[in-house]
C-alpha cells in the first residue's frame, strides 16, 4: 500500500495539512490539492505532490483524482459560526466540489473515498438546550440541519451513499465535531471558538486591556476535538467497514464560559467578560454520542480539552507575536 497514491483535497487547510503531515510520516505517496496558492497553505511539504486547483471545476477534480487509489475529500468553503451564518450561499456551493470529486473518483477507479461531514447536519430541535443529550447518528433525521452549511453537508452525505450503492465507490463519512489545534485559522473571521478565544486572551494580555468579548451568553455548550484525534479517527473510519455516517468528536462537554476559563488559566490572567448577545452563536447545545464509534472501532477521541488547548494556545501565541508583537 505504501506506493499507492492518496489524494488529500483541502490540503492547504487546517485538518488537511495535519492529515498530509501524518500520511507523509507513514511514508505514503500523497497528492495535496487546494485552491489557495501554496504560500497560503498552513502546512507545506516539499516531498509531496502539491497542486493548486479549483475543485469546483469538474475537469480539475478529474486531474486531482487521476491515478489515485484513495481520496480524502476535505475541501470546502467554510469557517466558524460567524462565517457560516453570514455566507450560506458560499457554503452551499461546496456541493460542486463534492459532486465533482465523487464523479472523478468513480471515473478514476478510486478504491476508497472519505467525505468530511459535520455535526451541523443534526436536527436543530435536538440542540435547543445547553444541557443537550449527546447527538446520535440517527438524530440527523427528520432533517433540520444548520441552514446553508449543514444542508450542503447532509446532501453530500446522501450523494456518498448513492455513489456507493449505484456505482460501487467505497465511500466513508465522518461527522466532525468542532476540530481545533495548531496550524489553523486564528484570526480574520473564519476561526472557530477555541482559536478565537485564544487570540482574544492573548491580545488582552499583550495590550493590558483585560476584557474579552464573548458571543452569546457564554452558556451555550459544545464539545471540541483535538486535531490529532481527528486525523487518527479519519484514517480509521476510512479503513473500516462502517458504511453509514458516524460521529467523530470528543464527548467532553463544556460551556463557552468554561472554555474561556480554561484559556484564562493557561494564560494566567482573569478578564472582564462582555457578552455580545446579538452575535452569531449557533445552537444552544451540541455534544457527540460516541456509542457507535466505540462499538465499531473500540476507540474514541480522548485528548482532554485542557491538554489540547495548551498546545493550541502556545502556537497561536507565537503566531500572534510574529504579527503583533
Catalytic positions, please? Answer: 149
Say how far apart CA 91 and CA 162 lie, in whole Å: 22
Say if residues 164 and 157 touch (Cβ distance below 8 Å): no
Q: Examine residue 142 and say whether the peptide bond preceding it is cis (omega within 30 degrees of 0).
A: yes
For 42, what's the count of Cα atoms within 13 Å in the CB-facing half-sphere?
21
Say how far apart CA 88 and CA 69 lie, in whole Å: 33
Q: Give the DSSP letter of residue 298.
A: S
Maximal C-alpha separation, the chain: 60
> Hunting for cell 472523478 — which residue is that?
104
- 3-state DSSP: the chain helix, strand, coil percent, rounded to 5? 45, 20, 35
Say if residues 79 and 191 touch (Cβ distance below 8 Å): yes
Q: What is the DSSP string of 184-230?
A: S--SSS---HHHHHHHHHHHHHHHS--EEEEES-S--EEE-EEHHHH
Q: What is the DSSP string of 15-69?
A: HHHHHHHHHHHTT-EEEEEESS-GGG-SS--TTSEEEE--TTSHHHHHHHHTT-S
Say how far apart CA 271 and CA 10 lie, in whole Å: 36
Say how far apart CA 234 and CA 223 lie, in whole Å: 17
Amino acid at each position: 500500500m505504501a506506493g499507492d497514491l492518496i489524494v488529500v483535497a483541502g490540503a492547504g487547510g487546517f485538518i488537511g495539512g495535519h492529515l498530509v503531515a501524518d500520511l507523509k510520516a507513514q511514508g505514503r505517496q500523497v497528492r495535496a490539492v487546494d485552491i489557495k496558492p501554496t504560500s497560503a497553505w498552513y502546512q507545506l511539504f516539499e516531498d509531496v505532490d502539491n497542486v493548486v486547483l479549483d475543485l469546483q471545476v469538474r475537469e480539475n477534480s478529474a486531474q486531482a483524482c487521476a491515478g489515485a487509489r484513495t481520496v480524502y475529500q476535505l475541501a470546502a468553503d467554510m469557517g466558524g459560526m460567524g462565517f457560516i451564518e453570514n455566507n450560506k450561499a458560499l457554503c452551499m456551493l461546496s456541493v460542486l466540489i463534492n459532486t465533482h470529486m465523487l464523479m472523478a473518483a468513480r471515473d478514476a477507479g478510486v478504491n476508497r473515498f472519505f467525505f468530511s461531514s459535520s455535526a451541523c447536519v443534526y436536527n436543530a430541535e435536538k440542540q435547543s438546550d445547553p444541557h443537550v443529550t449527546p447527538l446520535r447518528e440517527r438524530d440527523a433525521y427528520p432533517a433540520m440541519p444548520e441552514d446553508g452549511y449543514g444542508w450542503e453537508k447532509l446532501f453530500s452525505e446522501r450523494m456518498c451513499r448513492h455513489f456507493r450503492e449505484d456505482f460501487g465507490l467505497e465511500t466513508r463519512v465522518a461527522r466532525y465535531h468542532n476540530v481545533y489545534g495548531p496550524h489553523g485559522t486564528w484570526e480574520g473571521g473564519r476561526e472557530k471558538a477555541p482559536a478565537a478565544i485564544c487570540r482574544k486572551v492573548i491580545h488582552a494580555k499583550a495590550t493590558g486591556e483585560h476584557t474579552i468579548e464573548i458571543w452569546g451568553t457564554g452558556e451555550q455548550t459544545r464539545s471540541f476535538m483535538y486535531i490529532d484525534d481527528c486525523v487518527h479517527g479519519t484514517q480509521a473510519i476510512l479503513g473500516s467497514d462502517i458504511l453509514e455516517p458516524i460521529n467523530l468528536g470528543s464527548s467532553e462537554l463544556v460551556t463557552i464560559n468554561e472554555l474561556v476559563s480554561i484559556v484564562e488559566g493557561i494564560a494566567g490572567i482573569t478578564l472582564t467578560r462582555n457578552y455580545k448577545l446579538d452575535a452569531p452563536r449557533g445552537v444552544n447545545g451540541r455534544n457527540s454520542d460516541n456509542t457507535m464509534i466505540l462499538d465499531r472501532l473500540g476507540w474514541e477521541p480522548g485528548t482532554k480539552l485542557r491538554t489540547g488547548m495548551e498546545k493550541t494556545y502556545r502556537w497561536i501565541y507565537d503566531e500572534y507575536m510574529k504579527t503583533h508583537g
